[in-house]
Structures are given as structure tokens and as C-alpha cells.
Amino acid sequence: MCLKQCKSSGEKTKEAGTDNRNIIDDGKSQKLTQEDIKALKDKGIKGEEIVQQLIENSTTFRDKTEFAQDKYIKKKKKKYEAMITVVKPSTRILSVMYYAREPGKINHMRYDTLAQMLTLGNIRAGNKMIVMETCAGLVLGAMMERMGGFGSIIQLYPGGGPVRAATACFGFPKSFLSGLYEFPLNKVDSLLNGTFSAEMLSSEPKDIASVEESNGTLEEKQTSEQENEDSIAEAPESNHPEEQERMEIVSQDPDYKEPKESGSKKDYIQEKQRRQEEQKKRHLEAAALLSERNADGLIVASRFHPTPLLLSLLDFVAPSRPFVVYCQYKEPLLECYTKLRERGGVINLRLSETWLRNYQVLPDRSHPKLLMSGGGGYLLSGFTVAMDNLKADPSLKSSTSTLESHKTEEPAAKKRKCPESDS
């Protein structure tokens, strides 16, 4: 009795109904209007006090069950109490955020599908991995986080440069970036054919000095042909390439400081040239790593068709190594599966789709949630094996087929029929 009295005196009794059958949601149970709530916010009243006034002015709150009351309070707190929690970025947090807000930027890759990719690809410290992705750098950042700065990653990118918006959100130290290399995707064929050279990289980026020289000649022609007013109006337009180059440098290096005066344009050109030389050096290092053809794994997650990408990039992977291909749709992976079976050199091919459903886990209220994701993409995984030399040489294959045909022929009967003896 003493324990019950102490408990009743220490805690405030909570009125609750037995069920919600008599509660009608007609929108008239709350006495406070939106104007009243806005006026409370303008006065600077805290969210806890607003929630308490909502409870007191609700005519049906006391008739609700205890579970319904807790749900009502939780819903109002989430709406009127602003809570900000600073957490360390991780693969799970960023993948959930991208999938909820901007799924198109990561090709609608769900976070459980990304986890399956990292597991099937055997991503671990010390590996030498190849990745081709157009998911804003999310897959690259997940691989770098799992490898922990040990090993090397070669990123193949389309276009002018790699996109690493999500990778920058991880906040990796500079030691992690030492093992990260990039290589243009349009130079992969020349690397496979053996025609790749350093001159191919030097011709790709356009030097800012040549851009400015061409702009200067254009301005001279324009001033000679047009009046001075037109030339003055077109002078700011000639600075657009320079501004674009400056924006590229700022996006690549956050520590870059813009020149304060126009007289430091020469230093800016030298800085740009130095960065181009460093980029060229990194490309040559990536080409040397790819030329060894002993990568420990391959990850492909792009918006392009996976068949030509995978068939060309598998030549850089060592035997007995995993590869994983992601695609939002099933049909391109089915075609890729068929081509790989015809090509050979791979085993344990598997096309899979993960199924995810969230559960609410609460005392006496654990059940699957009503809303769930319709699909998180498809994965094609397998292992590379050494190609048989007989498959590569058709003459050897034809000779072995004739030998096998001779072996499969039924041998002539050796037993003779014994003549019947006269009895």
C-alpha cells in the first residue's frame, strides 16, 4: 500500500480512455486556430508550451487511449519542437538522405542495395578496386570509408571530370585521397589496344593561356570591324572562359584563394598550369595501375548501359575476383547476363533484387509499416576466372572437337560369335 501511495503521490495521474470508437475526426476538436498558434510562435513561446496548450485545448485528448495520446504528443513535438542533432557523416546517413530527397542523383539506389554492393564486391582495406559510377560519388565515398585509406581506387569518369559531391560530404582526410586515382572513360579503349600515350592526355585539357590568346585575337578582329561601343560591350563577355576556369579550380580545391587584383592573372595562369600537370601525372599513374590488369574487384553503377562497360572493364580485373553491376532496371542486366555467358571467363553469375520493409518496434505495437519502398534497383554479381586458351584460339578448338568426336565414337565389337559345336 505504501508503495502504491508513494507512486501515486510522486507521479501525476494520467487520464485516458479505453478505446477510440467514439472519437470523430471532424476538425473541431482543437480550440486553437492556426492564427493563435502563429501568434504564440511570434511571441517567442517555446515548443513545449505550445504542445501543452494544444493538449489542454483539445476536447478529445482525454478520451483517447494511452497509446493514441503518446502518438499525438509525439506528432506535435515533431512539428513544433525544433531539434538539431549534429552527427558524423556515414554511408548509411548519406544514402538514406539522397534516396529520400534526391533519388535521381544516385540512380534510385536504395541504401540496402548499396550495402549489398559493398558486400558482394568484397570491399576491404588493401584492395585495388576499379569503380565506374554516376551516383554523385556516393558509391566512391562508401568504398573509401570501408577501405579506411588503405589500398587504391581507380575511378573511371565520363565527360570532363569526376563528380564527387557526395564524396566531399564524408569529410575524408587528405591521407584517404592519396590512394584515389581517376581516369577518363573515353581513353579505356586505347589503353586496352595498347595505343595509349601521354600525348593523348595533354591534348585533352585546354590550356587557359591559349584560351586567352584566342580571346585576344577575337577582340582585335571585333574592334577592327565594329565600333568602339560594340567592343566595349563585348569586352565583359571575353572574360567568361576565365571565370569558368576559376570556378573549376574553386570547385576542385576549397583552399584555393581568388586573386585580389587583375595584376595577379599571371600567377593564376601558372597555378592552373600546375594543376593540369598534377592531373596529367595522376592520370598516367592510373593508366599504369590499369595496365597491370590485376585489380581486386570491379564496381559499376552508372546511368549508361552496363554491357559495353562491363565487357571492356573486366579485362583489367585479375582472375578469381568479384564484380558487381548495379542498374535501376532489370532488362539491361538480363542482356548483360546473356553476353557474359556467351563470352565466358566468369562464374557464379547471379541477378538479384533486394526487398526491404521497415518495421515499427514498440512495446505491444510491433508491426510492419504500411508504406514501403517499391524497388531499390537490381544487382548482377559474379567472379572472374582465367579464360581458357582453347576458347581464345579457334584452330585449337576445332582440333579438340575432332578428337572428342573420335573419342565419343562407339568402338567396334571385339567379340566374335562362337560357332556352334556339334554335339
Span 162-172, pLDDT tens digits:
999 999 999 99
Q: Which residues pair with 371 in a beta bridge?
A: none
Vertex 192: Cα angle to 284 and 379 (nearest 5): 100
Q: Rounded to whole angstroms, how far apart are CA atoms 100 and 96?
A: 6
Residue that wins the pLDDT comparison between 381 and 401: 381
Helix (H, G, I), strand (E, B) or coil at 140: helix
Strands (DSSP E) contained in 302-393 are 322-327, 346-352, 359-360, 367-368, 378-384
Take residue 151 and report the three cell numbers written for it.
589500398
pLDDT exceeds cutoff 90 at 231: no
pLDDT exceeds cutoff 60 at 204: no
Given a contact cutoff of 8 angstroms between Cβ atoms, the answer to whether 385 and 320 are in contact is yes
The pLDDT assigned to 203 comes to: 53
User: How many other CB atoms sit within 10 Å of the CB of residue 43?
Assistant: 8
Percent of the chain having pLDDT more than 70? 73
Average pLDDT over residues 116-136: 95
Nearest to 142 by CA among 159, 117, 179: 117
Given a contact cutoff of 8 angstroms between Cβ atoms, the answer to whether 134 and 167 are in contact is no
Average pLDDT over residues 173-201: 86
pLDDT exceeds cutoff 60 at 137: yes
The pLDDT assigned to 222 comes to: 40
The DSSP code for 205 is S
CA distances in angstroms from 359 to 97, 321, 335, listed in the order given: 19, 36, 35
Q: Rounded to whole angstroms, how far apart are CA atoms 73 and 47?
A: 12
CA–centroid distance for 335 within its chain: 23
Given a contact cutoff of 8 angstroms between Cβ atoms, the answer to whether 387 and 345 are in contact is yes
Take residue 140 and report the three cell numbers written for it.
566512391
**pTM for the predicted model, two decimal places:** 0.68
Q: Which residues have a Cβ under 8 Å from the Cβ of 33 and sit 6 or more positions away?
A: none
Nearest to 316 by CA among 199, 156, 176: 156
Take residue 200 and report the three cell numbers written for it.
593523348
Average pLDDT over residues 325-329: 95
138-147 vs 91-101: helix axis angle to the nearest 10? 170
Binned at pLDDT 50, 70 and 90, residue 226 comes out as very low
Q: Are strands 367-368 and 346-352 parallel, antiparallel or unpaired?
A: unpaired
331-343 vs 306-313: helix axis angle to the nearest 10? 30
pLDDT exceeds cutoff 70 at 386: yes
